[in-house]
């Protein structure tokens, strides 16, 4: 996971929004891109963790009562 | 640094003081409720803590409580005292907006589980308090800090913190996903408890992040928080996060002191970047607890760089999942700071979200190992006092700037990710007169222990007795 993500602006941002089925007014896009980059950058710091076979901290309880 | 005042009006009483007077029939619930409503009328125009004041319902509930008590049917310490509830929690027949224009007319049919529990205990629900919109922020822009109206009350449960600090209720309910009970508690100078994940049902509460949401009390004393926990804690099949763990009497250990308890003091993370005044107050509080007989041990907080990535990696996509339909239908009605984060969450990969959930597992294991031999960990609740209204970032002594939201969530997120109980108690004031909080983090479901520690510290100091001076 060493490659950096592309900056989320222009065509990249347009395509991500299209895949997410989220239509936004064009004037929102310049403000959105940098925040997407910030959150991606934050989450990418998790690459530093050696997760091995660690399961997610979620569980499902199959009992009915 | 505030005023020490002997209570003269009923609204000034703490929860346990009011409860004692009601039990002894020296104070009637109607008298208390009318006094509290008068206080709200006198000061809330300036503070802005309430979305809705439930005047008629509150007076009716107080009359019912008064009659029940007169008839010998006293229900316990919450009977007839005034409790405010964050506007994320459903209240049957009462506007529940989440402080959002998207829910300006939303009136639920049923009560949230916590509201049911409070009413069953005889509490008078006095009103609904403001939140940062949908609990997604730490500012609560509708509301001001009673200690200085030029400062924020924190958030997202800013209305609850401000209402308690300004004595507009005897206690309040908040929610905490990234610190939203502890942040307003610390900056408004109240006690605030984020219980263990799964200790209090979130049924009927609008979610910010299912994995991280907790509900807990904000009060003017540790004793009061314990009394509220006695009423609201417990298993609920309708909230899959709750655990069927026996509920203790939260008041039982409050006078047990801290002798021979062992506290971890972080040598990293919590003290890495903070206001020197906050550090000084928190370290003095820790030394005070040592002076009361506790043993201190330095501890290394595991994974210090990965709390914020894990917190936001879980919270952001979960919030967007909850709001997915509304964002498309009424997106223009969200405030811009919330809307942009909801849009970002739409663009995150499922693998990134699951990676954050896996990191949470590692963090939990790291804290379990760190807690070996410890009863609690002591830390600053926040690295700074209340920001001024409009202040966007704090500047640390080394010149580094950090956004207010990052600063406040940084020291709060470990409690949300680990799910451990975390109590904030007042431990001093800045030179500018703004409150500072000490955070006491305990083992899973060890709420009685963190309350015991907080009560010992509170009894040894007078910080919790001080009140904002500028509102009278």
CA contacts within 13 A on the Cβ side of B359: 28
pLDDT digits (tens, 9 = 90+) for B214-257: 999 999 999 999 999 999 999 999 999 999 999 999 999 999 99
B313 to A35: CB separation less than 8 angstroms, yes or no: no
Give a yes or no: residue B341 inside a domain.
Answer: no
Predicted pLDDT at A34: 96
At residue B205's C-alpha, the angle toward residues B204 and B211, to 5°, is 115
A-chain CB neighbours of B414 within 8 Å are none
Predicted pLDDT at B283: 98
- Rounded to the nearest integer, the mean pLDDT of chain B is 97
With bands split at pLDDT 50, 70 and 90, how would you rate the model's confidence at B284? Answer: very high
Q: How many CB pairs under 8 A join A and B?
A: 85
Kind and range of the H or E element at B120? helix B113-120
State the Cα–Cα distance between residues B472 and B465, nearest whole angstrom.
16
State yes or no: pLDDT of B305 exceeds 80: yes
B-chain CB neighbours of A44 within 8 Å are 309
Say what percent of chain B tops pLDDT 90.
97
Predicted pLDDT at B348: 97
CB B132 within 8 A of CB B454: no
The C-alpha of B402 sits at a distance from chain A's nearest C-alpha, in angstroms, of 14
pLDDT digits (tens, 9 = 90+) for B128-175: 999 999 999 999 999 999 999 999 999 999 999 999 999 999 999 999
Predicted pLDDT at A65: 64
Classified as helix, coil or strand, B218 is strand
With bands split at pLDDT 50, 70 and 90, how would you rate the model's confidence at B57? Answer: very high
Please list the alpha-helical segments (H only) found in B346-422: 350-370, 404-410, 413-418
Q: Give the mean pLDDT of B292-317.
A: 98
Q: Give the mean pLDDT of B393-418.
A: 98
Predicted pLDDT at B6: 53
B-chain CB neighbours of A61 within 8 Å are 240
Interface of B to A at Cβ within 8 Å reads 211, 237, 240, 303, 305-306, 308-310, 312-313, 316, 327-328, 331, 336, 340-341, 343-344, 346-348, 352, 354-362, 364
State the Cα–Cα distance between residues B218 and B173, nearest whole angstrom.
6
Chain B: residue nearest A56 by CA? B358
Phi, psi of B296 (to 5 degrees): -105, 140
Give a yes or no: residue B320 inside a domain.
Answer: no
User: Burial, B190: exposed, middle or buried (Cβ in 10 Å; 0-12, 13-18, 19+)?
Assistant: buried
Give a yes or no: residue B342 inside a domain.
Answer: no
pLDDT digits (tens, 9 = 90+) for B322-381: 999 999 999 999 999 999 999 999 999 999 999 999 999 999 999 999 999 999 999 999
With bands split at pLDDT 50, 70 and 90, how would you rate the model's confidence at B313? Answer: very high
pLDDT digits (tens, 9 = 90+) for B24-35: 999 999 999 999
The C-alpha of B350 sits at a distance from chain A's nearest C-alpha, in angstroms, of 12
Give a yes or no: residue B201 inside a domain.
Answer: yes
With bands split at pLDDT 50, 70 and 90, how would you rate the model's confidence at B3? Answer: low
Predicted pLDDT at B435: 98
B340 to A8: CB separation less than 8 angstroms, yes or no: no
B-chain CB neighbours of A46 within 8 Å are 306, 309-310, 313, 352, 355-356, 359
The C-alpha of A16 sits at a distance from chain B's nearest C-alpha, in angstroms, of 6
B355 to A24: CB separation less than 8 angstroms, yes or no: no
Q: How many structural domains is chain B composed of? A: 1
Give a yes or no: residue B85 inside a domain.
Answer: yes
Predicted pLDDT at A59: 79
Name which of B239, B306, B335, B343 to mutate to probe chain A: the one with the most chain A Cβ atoms within 10 A of its Cβ: B343
Name which of A25, A39, A59 to mutate to probe chain B: the one with the most chain B Cβ atoms within 10 A of its Cβ: A39
Domain ranges of chain A: 10-48
B191 forms bridges with which residues in the sheet? B219
State the complex-level ipTM: 0.96
A58 to B357: CB separation less than 8 angstroms, yes or no: yes
Nearest to B347 among A20, A44, A61 (CB): A20
pLDDT digits (tens, 9 = 90+) for B187-197: 999 999 999 99
Give me the CATH number covering residue B400. 3.90.1300.10
Range of the structural domain that residue B295 is part of: 3-306+350-467
Task: Tell me which residues of B are annotated as active site.
Answer: 86, 156, 180
The C-alpha of B313 sits at a distance from chain A's nearest C-alpha, in angstroms, of 6
Give a yes or no: residue B323 inside a domain.
Answer: no
Predicted pLDDT at B327: 98
Predicted pLDDT at B408: 98
With bands split at pLDDT 50, 70 and 90, how would you rate the model's confidence at A5? Answer: confident
Predicted pLDDT at B267: 97
Scan for tokens 């002076």, then name that residue: B291
At residue B6's C-alpha, the angle toward residues B189 and B59, to 5°, is 80
Predicted pLDDT at A61: 77
State the Cα–Cα distance between residues B81 and B72, nearest whole angstrom.
17
Q: Give me B456's structure tokens.
A: 């010992």
Chain A: residue nearest B324 by CA? A22
Nearest to A35 among B327, B328, B344 (CB): B344
pLDDT digits (tens, 9 = 90+) for A15-44: 999 999 999 999 999 999 999 999 999 999
State yes or no: pLDDT of B260 exceeds 60: yes
Chain B: residue nearest A63 by CA? B237
State yes or no: pLDDT of A2 exceeds 90: no
Chain B: residue nearest A45 by CA? B309
Give a yes or no: residue B387 inside a domain.
Answer: yes
Say what percent of chain B tops pLDDT 70.
99
A-chain CB neighbours of B357 within 8 Å are 56-58
With bands split at pLDDT 50, 70 and 90, how would you rate the model's confidence at A3? Answer: confident
pLDDT digits (tens, 9 = 90+) for B265-281: 999 999 999 999 999 99
């Amino acid at each position: 996971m060493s490659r950096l993500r592309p900056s989320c602006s222009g065509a990249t941002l347009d395509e991500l929004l299209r895949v997410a089925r989220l239509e936004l007014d064009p004037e929102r896009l310049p403000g959105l891109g940098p925040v997407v980059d910030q959150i991606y950058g934050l989450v990418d710091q998790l690459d530093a963790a050696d997760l091995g076979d660690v399961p997610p901290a979620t569980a499902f309880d199959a009992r009915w009562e | 640094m505030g005023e020490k005042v002997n209570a003269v009006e009923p609204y000034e009483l703490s929860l346990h003081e009011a409860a004692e007077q009601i039990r002894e029939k020296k104070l009637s619930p109607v008298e208390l409720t009318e006094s509290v409503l008068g206080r709200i009328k006198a000061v809330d125009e300036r503070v802005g803590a309430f979305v809705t004041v439930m005047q008629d319902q509150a007076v009716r509930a107080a009359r019912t409580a008064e009659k029940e008590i007169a008839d010998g049917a006293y229900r316990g310490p919450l009977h007839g005292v005034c409790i405010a509830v964050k506007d994320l929690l459903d209240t049957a027949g009462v506007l529940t907006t989440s402080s959002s224009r998207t829910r300006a007319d939303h009136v639920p049919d049923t009560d949230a589980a916590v509201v049911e529990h409070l009413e069953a205990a005889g509490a008078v629900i006095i009103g609904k308090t403001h939140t940062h919109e949908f609990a997604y922020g730490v500012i609560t822009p509708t509301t001001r800090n009673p200690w200085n109206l030029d400062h924020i009350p924190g958030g997202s449960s800013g209305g609850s913190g401000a209402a308690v600090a300004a004595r507009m209720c005897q206690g309040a309910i908040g929610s905490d996903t990234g610190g939203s009970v502890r942040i307003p508690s610390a900056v408004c100078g109240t006690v605030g408890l984020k219980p263990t994940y799964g200790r209090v049902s979130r049924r009927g509460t609008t979610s910010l992040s299912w994995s991280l949401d907790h509900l807990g009390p904000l009060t003017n004393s540790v004793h009061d928080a314990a009394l509220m926990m006695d009423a609201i804690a417990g298993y609920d099949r309708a909230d899959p996060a709750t655990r069927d763990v026996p509920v203790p009497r939260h008041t039982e250990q409050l006078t047990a002191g801290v002798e021979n308890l062992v506290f971890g003091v972080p040598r990293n993370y919590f003290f890495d970047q903070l206001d020197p005044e906050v550090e000084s107050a928190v370290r003095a509080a820790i030394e005070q607890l040592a002076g009361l007989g506790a043993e201190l041990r330095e501890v290394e907080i595991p994974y210090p760089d990965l709390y914020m990535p894990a917190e936001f990696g879980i919270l952001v996509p979960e919030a967007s999942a909850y709001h997915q339909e509304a964002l498309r239908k009424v997106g223009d009605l969200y405030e811009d700071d919330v809307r942009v984060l909801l849009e970002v969450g739409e663009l995150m990969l499922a693998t990134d979200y699951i990676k954050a959930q896996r990191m949470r597992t590692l963090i939990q294991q790291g804290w379990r190992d760190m807690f070996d031999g410890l009863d609690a960990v002591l830390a600053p609740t926040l690295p700074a006092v209340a920001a001024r209204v409009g202040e966007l970032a704090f500047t640390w002594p080394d010149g580094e700037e950090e956004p207010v939201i990052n600063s406040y969530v940084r020291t709060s997120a470990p409690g949300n990710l680990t799910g451990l109980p975390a109590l904030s108690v007042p431990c001093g004031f800045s030179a500018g007169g703004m409150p500072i909080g000490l955070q006491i983090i305990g083992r899973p479901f060890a709420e009685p222990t963190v309350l015991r520690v907080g009560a010992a510290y509170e009894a040894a100091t007078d910080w919790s007795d001080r009140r904002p001076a500028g509102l009278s």
